[in-house]
Amino acid sequence: MSLEACNVTVLLRRWRSGDQQALDGLMPLVYDELRRLAARCLYAERPGHTLPATALVHEAYLRLIDADVEWQNRAHFYALAARILRRILVEYARSHNRQKRGGDAVKVPLEEAVVVGPEASSTVLELDEALQRLAALDARKSEVVQLLYFGGLTYEETAAALDISPATVHRELKLAKAWLHREMAKT
């Protein structure tokens, strides 16, 4: 484990214990990574998206500091951040679609973590619905997709966050990709 990962884990635990100074020390360490995760999520959005990465990070930050979570480690923190970023984008897409009354669907190309074919793309809402259906059938496969795609975690970090082996991450991802491709092709 790197020094930064150790520092993040220590600060998360101190913060959870009530040390507010730990939060002050934590945010400079995680902000750049949160910004990178947000940029990655927004990269898949339509050009000219009106939600900037900074706003996405700040909204995620507010939700993270209000989260009542027993922080295990750095990977656990980023896994939760990935879920929160996805949730914010889904809420934003729903709000945007309501305002447009169903017009101009937001296209999201599914990057290499989820792409099954070169033309594979879908709206944020359709992807969210498909991931929810997958979670109902197999929560771990859905988590693997979320952590790799939305969270930008590596196979090793995803394996650590889910307490499984990297080989299992790879296997679960292959099955999840096939399932999502079939589901997305139906719509």
Task: Identify the three-state secondary structure at position 79.
Answer: helix
**Domain locations in the chain?**
3-186
Q: Which phi and psi angles does 5 have, rounded to 5°?
A: -60, -40
Taking the whole predicted model, whether its pTM rises above 0.75 is answered as no
pLDDT at 26: 87
For residue 97, the model assigns a pLDDT of 63
Q: What is the pLDDT of residues 146-159, one digit of tens each?
A: 888 777 788 888 88
Tens of pLDDT, residue by residue over 136-149, are 999 999 989 888 87
**In Å, what is the CA distance from 134 to each residue of 20, 79, 88, 131?**
38, 18, 20, 5
User: pLDDT category, 187, cuts 50, 70, 90?
Assistant: low
Residues 44-97: pLDDT tens digits? 666 666 778 888 888 888 888 888 888 888 888 888 888 888 888 888 877 766
Question: pLDDT band for position 101 (50/70/90)?
Answer: very low
Query: pLDDT confidence of 110, banded at 50, 70, 90?
Result: very low
